[in-house]
Structure formats: C-alpha cells, structure tokens
Amino acid sequence: MSTMAERSAARKRAKLEQQALDWADDRLGSSKWLRSALDKIFPDHWSFMVGEIAMYCFVILLATGIYLALFYNASSAVVVYHGPYKALDGQSMTEAYASVINISFSVRAGLVMRQAHHWAALIFMAAITFHMGRIFFTGAFRRPREINWIIGVTLLLVSMLEGFSGYSLPDDLLSGSGLRVVFSIIQSIPLIGPWLAFNLWGGAFPGSGAFFERLFLIHEFLFPLLLAGLLGGHLAILWHQKHTDFAGPGKTEHNIVGSRLWPQYTIKSTALLTFVAAVIFGLGGLVQINPIWVFGPYEAARSSAGTQPDWYVGWLDGAMRLWPHWEFRSFGHEIANPFFPGILLPGIVFTFIYAWPWLDKRLYADYGEHNLLDRPRDKPLRTALGVAALFFFVDLTLASATDVIGNGLQISFERLIEILQYGSFIGPIVGGLVAYRVCILLQGGKVHPIQRPVGGIITRDARGAYHTLGADHGGNGHGGNGHGGNGHDGNGHDGNGHDGNGHDGHGEDEPLERVAVGHGDPGGGNGASAALGGDGLGSPGTFGTGTLGEATSGGGGDPAPAE
C-alpha cells in the first residue's frame, strides 16, 4: 500500500520524533507520562461532550473577551456621545457605555466579537447546567468523584457571578437596573449588609468612580483566573480518575472503552471546538443580543418594562418576584425582603447541591466506588428529586419574565405571579411523581439492555471477526454486567478472551458466548478482558476479584435468566 518514498519519509519522521522526545525526556523525564497520556482512553457518548462544550465556550470567551478588553473603558466619567449611531448623538453617558457603543458601531468586527462573547456566555452556562444534570442523573458524582462535583458546582457558581459581572459592564439601562437590585440584595444582609454594599461599590449606589474599574478587574482578571484554576483542577482529577462510562457489553468497573487521546480523541475534540466556535460566531454575527443602544445609558430614575436578566440569573430574579412581601422588624432591626430570595434561597440551593454526593450515599446506603454510570431510571428517587429541582428552577425562571409572558398570554401579571407561586410547590411535586412513575415503567420495559436475556445476534464482519451484539449476561445493578461480552472486539482482534471463565455471575449459562468464540483460538483471547471479569459491587467498598483466567468473584449481580 505504501510506496518506497512514503516508507522512507515515515522512517525519517520517526527519527525526528525520537530526537524531539529524547530531548524533552533528557530534561523532563517526560516520556513515560507522555506515552500513557497519548494512549489514554476516553469513552464515547454524546452526553460526555457537553462538559467539553462548556470548556470550549470558556476558550472562546477568553479569546473574544481579550479583544473586547482592548476597547472597553471602565470609567464612569460622563461624556457626550458623538458617533456613527445617530440616535444617541448628543446624549450624555458614562465612558463605559460610550466605549461599548463604540465597540458595537466603530470597532471592526467589534459587534461580532461582542455578541459572540455574550452568546458564548449564555451557552457556557447552559452547557455547565446540562453537564451538571448529566452528572447528577447518572450518579457520576459518586465515590471517587465527590471532589470534582464540589469543584464543578463552584465552577457553576463562579461562572454565574462572572456572567453577571460582564453583563453589568456596559452600564446600560438594563444592566444598571440589575446592579441596583444586587446592591439592594447585598444591603439587605443582616448586620453587615449596608457596610458590605458600600465597600463593594465604593459608596452609596451607583457607587464611586472606581466602581466600573473594580467590576472590570473582577470580570477580566479575578474570576477568569479562578475559573481557569478550577477548570484545571477539574480536568486534572478527571484525567487521573478516568472518565465514567455507561454500562454496556464489555464494560466493567475496571476497564474503560473508547477512543485514544492520540489521534482519535484529539482530532474529534478539536472538531468539537470548531463546531462550538461555528455556532457561537454564527449567532454572534447573525442573531442580535443585548442591543444596549436600544436600552440607552443607565439612569437611576428610569427602568423599563420587560426588564429581564440573562437566563442563568432568571431563577433568582423570578424568586425575587415570587417571594411574599415579608420583612421582619423587631428590636429596631429589620431583615429586608430581598435577603430571602436573593441570599437565603440561593444559599440553601447551593448548600444542597454541594452536599448532594453525601446525601446520595445515605439515601442509597452506597459508599462504594463507581466507574459505571447509573441510568436515571434505575435510581427513580434520585431522578425524581432531580426532575423536581428542574421544575422548581423552570418555574422561577418563568417568573423572571412575568410581565412579558403575561402580555403574550393576555393574563394579568398578578394572576401569573400567583400561578407561578403555587407552581413552585405543585410543579416540583407533580414533576417528581411523574418522573418516578416513568422510571418504574421504563424499568419494566423490554428496552433494558442490562436485563436482556443472555444471547444475541452474532455477526461476521468483513475481516472475518465475529461479534455478538447485545450478548449481555446477568449482572444487574451497578455494573455487574458487561464483562467478557464482545465489546472490545470492535477492532478486529479475534478470540477476545471471554472464553474462560473470566466472566462471573453466570457460571453455567453461557452457551452463546461459546458460539462467538468458537471461530478463534479458544484459549488465546487477550485474556486481559477476562481478567477484568468480576466486579461485584454488592458490598460497599469491596470489589470482586476477577483475575486472569480465573472464575472468581461473581458477587453483586444476579445472573439474568437465559432464554
């Protein structure tokens, strides 16, 4: 297939690579690590890409953000605008607002960059939220991944603050109202509230001249640095622990099936980066977002109807609208209303999210290690709780647009707010119950690969290798399945070692497996896969002990009935 020239070029290249790697190894001792890094396996599943999408949004946010920072002027000095946007000509505004108008109308590619930055932030938050949902519903936060859950939730929290600080930088009417509300929320904190708000803003609202410089410093340095550090830790831990995977043929708690980092995964992941960039820059150029020139500069005595924050803050704004008009006054002191929806509620919500891995351990009395994921239907209670939380979140987010929705539906905002107030209780209950029921129904359905009868379809591919499709056997619950099976013959090595007795849990009933093996060398499978046979996770903290060619272990899973 290859010509002489190609072979000689390959030899030359190999020599160069050797020299370069030797040079590095002489200084860093890097070869051992680098080899295992390049060979590292990442499982393939579409839902595993969502976290990556968030990461690539962050990359694009950094790139577009650096461009914007070149032109943004964090100054609250007042200037009179004269520029290409005639509707604002002659109007006085802060330099901050003027510089963003300038980015939008005078800086080349400025508008695309600005809108792409904003879209990227919205998608970033959506990807993080979706990613967290995936982790939650599949139980990927379980031991040993609790630390990464904590880091991930912190990433969510910091990203929210980062997003809000960026949204506030243009000093337009919309974001100015948002800042006013946040000042009020901070001011409402018992004891230290006013002091804290005055220190952050540099004085009474709208703050001293230093305020936008501070906000800018926070937005373009402090929080990005924090995010980069947390993200680095998040990835390093993922790297060390290896990615989780769904149960399936050939997959066990102790192996990992997927693509190698080099070259498969690298190229595919780079492709994902370019697709994320395509969507974000496409939106940035073609779909208008946050047209601050329409809102006008911020003035404290103005605010307009239809005032909504970006979507990821919507749930807090909605809570501000739905919370009853309670204020507590006694002994000359007062706990003002914004404290409850603005500080207490998110405090409780985030405490609950942070604590979830440990609550889940208690709930299921499961303190063991898990590398195979749950399917949401297999943990109905957890799934129901998650769905209830989603309903709560959606209800509050809808509430942040009561005036807009009320207009659209032709009902008064008062009724809509009352509906959503009830909805914040009824929605989660109904949603949770329905989710629970759906889980139970799905469990009883025939589409459950883990409970499928032993056996399956045997196919023969172009290279003569046999594959058993869906030949799964026994092992219910967390991951007691899979072992042996066929999974790793996807790439043509034959024989795949489940001949022996490596797979546990179903000592007797394995006739169909034999068929698959039959064509190859019966004994010669790559025993490795057999070695990973057992993994009874029945008892927390202990693992089965499948070893090379020994039918041991077998704990955990019940063998499925052979049919």
Partner 1 sequence: MAENPMVEDRTAEGPVAETGTAAEQLPRVFTGTHDNLDGADGHTPWPDDVPAGQDDTWYPLRDDPWKARRMEYIIAAFWGITAVCGIGLMIVYWTGGQAQYEGALLLLAFASLGTGLVLWARYLLPGHDITASRGHHVSDPEERAAIVESLSRGTEAILSRRGFLVKKVLVPVGGIFGIAALWPLASLGTRPGDALYHTKWYPGARLVTEDGNALHVDDVMVDGLLTVFPEGYIDDASSGAVVLNIGGAPIQARRGQADFEVVSGANGIVAFSKICTHAGCAVSLFNVLTMQLICPCHQSTFNILQDCSPVFGPASRPLPQLPLLVDAEGYLIARSDFIEPVGPGFWNRSGD
The rounded distance, in Å, linking the Cα atoms of 81 and 99 is: 10
Closest residue by Cα to residue 243 from 227, 228, 260: 260
Q: Residue 175 CB, nearest distance to partner 1 (Å)?
A: 13
The rounded distance, in Å, linking the Cα atoms of 556 and 363 is: 19
Q: Which of residues 297-316 bind partner 1 (CB under 8 A)?
A: 299-307
Query: Is residue 522 a contact residue for partner 1 (CB under 8 A)?
Result: yes
Could you tell me which stretch among 164-172, 282-290, 428-436, 444-452 binds partner 1 (CB under 8 A)? 282-290
Q: Burial-class residue 221 by CB neighbours within 10 Å (0-12, 13-18, 19+).
A: exposed
Q: Which is nearer to partner 1, 85 or 543 (CB)?
A: 543
Q: Which is nearer to partner 1, 406 or 453 (CB)?
A: 406
Query: Is residue 22 a contact residue for partner 1 (CB under 8 A)?
Result: no
The rounded distance, in Å, linking the Cα atoms of 167 and 254 is: 45
Query: Is residue 108 a contact residue for partner 1 (CB under 8 A)?
Result: yes
Query: Is residue 363 a contact residue for partner 1 (CB under 8 A)?
Result: no
Q: Residue 26 CB, nearest distance to partner 1 (Å)?
A: 22
Q: Residue 255 CB, nearest distance to partner 1 (Å)?
A: 5
Query: Is residue 120 a contact residue for partner 1 (CB under 8 A)?
Result: no
**Interior CA angle at 289 toward 109 and 54, to 5°?**
85
- Amino acid identity of residue 164, one-letter, is F
Q: For the chain, what is the largest distance between any 2 Cα atoms, rounded to a whole number of angstroms?
A: 93
Task: Report helix, strand or coil for 328.
Answer: strand
Q: Burial-class residue 28 by CB neighbours within 10 Å (0-12, 13-18, 19+).
A: exposed
Considering only 27, 86, 362, 463, the residue that binds partner 1 (CB under 8 A) is: 463
Query: Is residue 284 a contact residue for partner 1 (CB under 8 A)?
Result: yes
Question: Is the Cα torsion angle 382, 385, 391, 395 positive or negative in sign?
Answer: negative
Q: Which is nearer to partner 1, 227 or 335 (CB)?
A: 335
**Number of C-beta neighbours around residue 325 at 10 A:** 5
Q: Which of residues 415-434 bind partner 1 (CB under 8 A)?
A: 417
Q: Which is nearer to partner 1, 25 or 133 (CB)?
A: 25
Q: Residue 258 CB, nearest distance to partner 1 (Å)?
A: 7
Query: Is residue 39 a contact residue for partner 1 (CB under 8 A)?
Result: yes
Task: Report helix, strand or coil for 45.
Answer: coil
Query: Is residue 492 a contact residue for partner 1 (CB under 8 A)?
Result: yes
Closest residue by Cα to residue 167 from 226, 227, 125: 125
Query: Is residue 346 a contact residue for partner 1 (CB under 8 A)?
Result: no
Q: Which is nearer to partner 1, 244 or 451 (CB)?
A: 244
Closest residue by Cα to residue 93 from 295, 247, 281, 338: 295
Q: Which of residues 317-336 bind partner 1 (CB under 8 A)?
A: 317, 320-321, 323-327, 329, 332-336
Q: Which is nearer to partner 1, 432 or 480 (CB)?
A: 480
Q: Which of residues 153-212 bind partner 1 (CB under 8 A)?
A: 177, 180-181, 183-185, 187-195, 197-206, 208
Considering only 62, 217, 235, 285, the residue that binds partner 1 (CB under 8 A) is: 285
Q: Residue 426 CB, nearest distance to partner 1 (Å)?
A: 20
Structure tokens at 377: 């239907």
Structure tokens at 169: 């930088």
Task: Report helix, strand or coil for 172.
Answer: strand
Query: Is residue 549 a contact residue for partner 1 (CB under 8 A)?
Result: yes
Considering only 25, 34, 40, 562, the residue that binds partner 1 (CB under 8 A) is: 40
Structure tokens at 258: 């997927």
